[in-house]
């Protein structure tokens, strides 16, 4: 990688890059979708500890993290991309339509049969089978479960205590791993939630969900917020409900997590500038099942190196 760095009259440390082939170490629950960074799958907590210890440069996660060690300083959460959560079900011959209330009810135990009157109202003319709802949850923390729970708790359909990345709610079965969840979806009447980069088993359908404006929409990774909305400062806060017509309601964010002050653990200015360029590259373009944030939601990334703010060429920090 070729890099040119300069210091402006205002004291900003500015770098421009000839390419985004960045030799960085990235850890977390989401692999990077731009650049050439080395990636290792880690839980959200382990990813934070790797970054804090200086063994990794960036954590990419969709879940809340534990508190960092006190010697690391403030962690910066950078929203990078949007993903959709699919409500996956096995009902041969049925093209299922749901609203947020009904979808949440399938997992809370409130909707226990596929021919429930609430589902029949949303699916007029559809021959819903007289079968029990076999909801499948997961034992391990995952992005799909967290984003789905976020929407259900925010809407008032679930209690706040269920806003977790590995909830059980009133699921009929709990999968200990991805293979068990896929196997459970082989049973007619089963339903679960799937997130980014998770393959849909053969014969399993994706529910269309009622969006603002009255349209039933397929899972689409769109933020669905007007420019006046504000994003949360991290996944510990609620992602606002979509307020744009036709926006799919079940979605979450992938976050990049780094120390705000990049002068730690013997890190160099070049390391810091590489991290900034990498984060900018990720949020500028989407990847598999991921869409970038709209430009109006891409605030300058306030990284610093000691008492000097960092910026890419042509980008000024606030």
- Work out the pLDDT band at 313, boundaries 50, 70, 90: low
Residue 270 maps to which CATH number?
Answer: 3.40.190
Tell me the residue range of the domain where 106 lies.
Answer: 86-217
Same domain, yes or no: 97 and 75? no
Buried b vs exposed e over 21-36: b needs ≥16 C-beta within 10 Å?
ebebebbbbbebbbbe
- Which pTM was predicted? 0.89
Instruction: Indicate if the pLDDT at residue 74 is higher than 70.
Output: yes
Could you give the 3-state DSSP secondary structure of residue 160?
helix
Q: What is the mean pLDDT of the chain?
A: 89
Instruction: Indicate if the pLDDT at residue 163 is higher than 50.
Output: yes
User: How far apart, in whole angstroms, are the C-alpha atoms of residue 197 and residue 206?
Assistant: 15
- Strands 308-312 and 13-17, by their bridges, are parallel
pLDDT tens string 268-312: 999 999 999 999 999 999 998 999 999 999 999 999 999 999 987
Q: What is the mean predicted confidence (pLDDT) over 62-74?
A: 78
Same domain, yes or no: 100 and 137? yes
User: How far apart, in whole angstroms, are the C-alpha atoms of residue 247 and residue 84?
Assistant: 11
4 touches 15 (CB < 8 A): yes
Same domain, yes or no: 102 and 212? yes
Instruction: Indicate if the pLDDT at residue 264 is higher than 90.
Output: no
Residue 162 maps to which CATH number?
Answer: 3.40.190.10
Same domain, yes or no: 189 and 282? no
Q: What is the mean predicted confidence (pLDDT) over 237-258?
A: 96
Residue 23 lies in a domain: yes
């Amino acid at each position: 990688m070729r890099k040119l760095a300069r210091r402006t009259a205002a004291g900003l440390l500015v770098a421009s890059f000839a390419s985004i082939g960045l030799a960085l170490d990235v850890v977390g629950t989401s692999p990077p979708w731009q650049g050439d960074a080395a990636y290792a799958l880690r839980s959200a907590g382990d990813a934070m500890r790797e970054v804090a210890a200086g063994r990794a440069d960036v954590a990419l996660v969709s879940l809340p993290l534990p508190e960092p060690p006190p010697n690391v300083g403030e962690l910066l959460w950078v929203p990078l991309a949007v993903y959709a959560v699919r409500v996956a079900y096995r009902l041969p011959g049925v093209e299922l339509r749901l609203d947020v209330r009904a979808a949440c009810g399938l997992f809370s135990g409130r909707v226990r049969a596929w021919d429930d009157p609430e589902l029949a109202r949303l699916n007029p003319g559809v021959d819903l089978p007289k079968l029990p709802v076999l909801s499948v949850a997961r034992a391990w923390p995952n992005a799909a479960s967290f984003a789905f729970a976020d929407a259900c708790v925010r809407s008032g359909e679930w209690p706040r205590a269920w806003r977790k990345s590995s909830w059980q709610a009133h699921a009929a079965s709990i999968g200990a791993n991805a293979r068990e969840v896929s196997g459970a979806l082989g049973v007619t009447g089963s339903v679960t939630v799937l997130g980014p980069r998770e393959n849909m088993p053969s014969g399993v359908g994706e529910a269309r969900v009622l969006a603002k404006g009255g349209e039933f929409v397929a899972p689409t990774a769109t933020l669905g917020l007007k420019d006046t909305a504000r994003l949360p400062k991290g996944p510990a806060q609620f992602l606002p409900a979509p307020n744009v017509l036709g926006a799919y309601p079940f979605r979450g964010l992938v976050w990049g997590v780094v120390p705000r002050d990049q002068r730690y653990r013997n890190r160099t200015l070049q390391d810091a500038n590489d991290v900034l360029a990498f984060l900018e590259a990720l949020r500028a373009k989407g990847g598999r099942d991921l869409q970038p944030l709209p430009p109006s939601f891409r605030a300058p990334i306030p990284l610093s190196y000691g008492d000097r703010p960092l910026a890419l060429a042509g980008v000024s920090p606030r």
